[in-house]
Amino acid sequence: MTAGFQLGVIGSLTLSVASSVAIVICNKALISTLGFPFATTLTSWHLMVTFCTLHVAQRMRFFEPKAIDGHTVILFGLLNGTSIGLLNLSLGFNSIGFYQMTKLAIIPFTVLLETIFLKKRFSESIKFSLLVLLLGVAIASVTDLKLNLLGSVLSGLAIATTCVGQILTNTIQKKLKVTSTQLLYQSAPYQAAILFATGPFVDQLLTNRSVFAHKYSAPVVGFIVMSCLIAVSVNFSTFLVIGTTSPVTYQVLGHLKTCLVLSFGYTLLHDPFTMRNILGILVAIFGMALYSCFSVMESKRKSAGDALPVLSQMPEKETEPLLETKDSGDTKKANGC
């Protein structure tokens, strides 16, 4: 692992954390203070602005687009868009505590899927560090655990689509040799399309209010624009982190963001904070430190033994589909702030 690659990974992780915390604070003000609760529709606007920004960057030759098989990119985009909508529905039909448990479940399910289908091995030390991390986040963020059938089904679908979407984000970049920017540029329109089409209905179902009937004051419009601009960085850094590290590392990073958001909420917004929150955050940070330490140690051992996995042995076929289409047209395969 070269110094330049390590520096790039650190930069992508830093960008992801900074932009995600910034957009959470911005959206909290937009939703809670200014009364704009249409999260799914807002996400579709985020993705549209992201695509438009990347299109301008491509026209200015900041990066070169690369053709990806149409079936692959369409199904990948629809899958990621669906996962976002399902996560929002899960939040709407479940208690906050159960929703947090849904997010926590993404890591073990990702590990399980990668172990079964990609034959990836996770050491006992890595599994232990992930367990400590999840325990800490659960202590800090999970309160009530009210269950209901519809909410549980939505949570299960959200976990499945998110795990598969994030694994594919990593797999597509490595197998088809595309950069995070190229993949995001190709898939963002399809993610935006499905959320743009379904977002107003999902939001009305969750809030009993119409996004089209909302009064758009100057502050609301200003925060929407700010949120969309920050989202460009969030979406870009998400694909970059998953592509340069792994889906599990991205989820670990996501829980670091949760701890930072809780801390910022207390210091800047004066949200309620208890000793339980503090203890949970400290345990989670300890788990993250263990994960980072064990990951670096294993990486060094592999480098020393010339045992790094070769990711480029597959024949390079830019048009080879990764996702098989079926006659049923089912696009929900078994992503990701």
Task: Measure the CA dihedral 279/284/285/290, to 10°.
Answer: 130
What region, left, alpha or beta, does residue 61 occupy, with left being phi > 0 and alpha being psi -120 to 50 degrees? left
Per-residue pLDDT at 32 exceeds 90: no
Q: Which of 216, 261, 201 is nearest to 35 (CA)?
A: 216
> Which tokens sit at 278?
């503090």
Per-residue pLDDT at 333 exceeds 80: no
The reported pLDDT for the residue numbered 105 is 94
The reported pLDDT for the residue numbered 300 is 81
Sign of CA dihedral 190, 191, 194, 195: negative
* Strand ranges in 185-275 using DSSP code E only, listed in sequence order: none
The reported pLDDT for the residue numbered 305 is 62
Read off the pLDDT of residues 187-240 as tens digits, 9 standing for 90 and up.
999 999 999 999 999 999 999 999 999 999 999 999 999 999 999 999 999 999
Read off the pLDDT of residues 249-281 as tens digits, 9 standing for 90 and up.
999 998 888 888 777 777 766 667 788 888 999
Q: List all residues 6 or more positions away from 188 whose beta carbon is below 8 Å from its beta carbon.
A: 47, 48, 50, 51, 54, 77, 235
Label residues 195-222 b or e (16+ Cβ within 10 Å = b): bbebbbebbbebeeeebeeeeeeeeeee
The reported pLDDT for the residue numbered 4 is 67
Report in angstroms the alpha-carbon separations of 198 from 39, 85, 130, 177: 12, 8, 35, 32
What are phi and psi for residue 208, nearest 5 degrees?
60, 30
Cα-based angle 126, 128, 132 (whole degrees, multiple of 5): 115
Range scoring the smallest mean pLDDT among 32-36, 177-181, 254-258:
254-258
The reported pLDDT for the residue numbered 12 is 87
Where is pLDDT greater, at 50 or 335?
50
- State mean pLDDT over 65-94: 93
Read off the pLDDT of residues 104-123 as tens digits, 9 standing for 90 and up.
999 999 999 999 999 999 99
- State mean pLDDT over 22-48: 93
Q: Which of 213, 192, 174, 156 is nearest to 81 (CA)?
A: 192
The reported pLDDT for the residue numbered 250 is 93
d(CA 111, CA 247): 9
Read off the pLDDT of residues 163-172 as tens digits, 9 standing for 90 and up.
999 999 999 9
d(CA 127, CA 125): 5
Q: Which of 318, 266, 332 is nearest to 70 (CA)?
A: 318
The reported pLDDT for the residue numbered 27 is 92
Read off the pLDDT of residues 140-157 as tens digits, 9 standing for 90 and up.
888 766 778 899 999 999
Read off the pLDDT of residues 277-329 as tens digits, 9 standing for 90 and up.
889 999 999 999 999 999 888 888 877 764 444 444 444 444 444 444 444 44
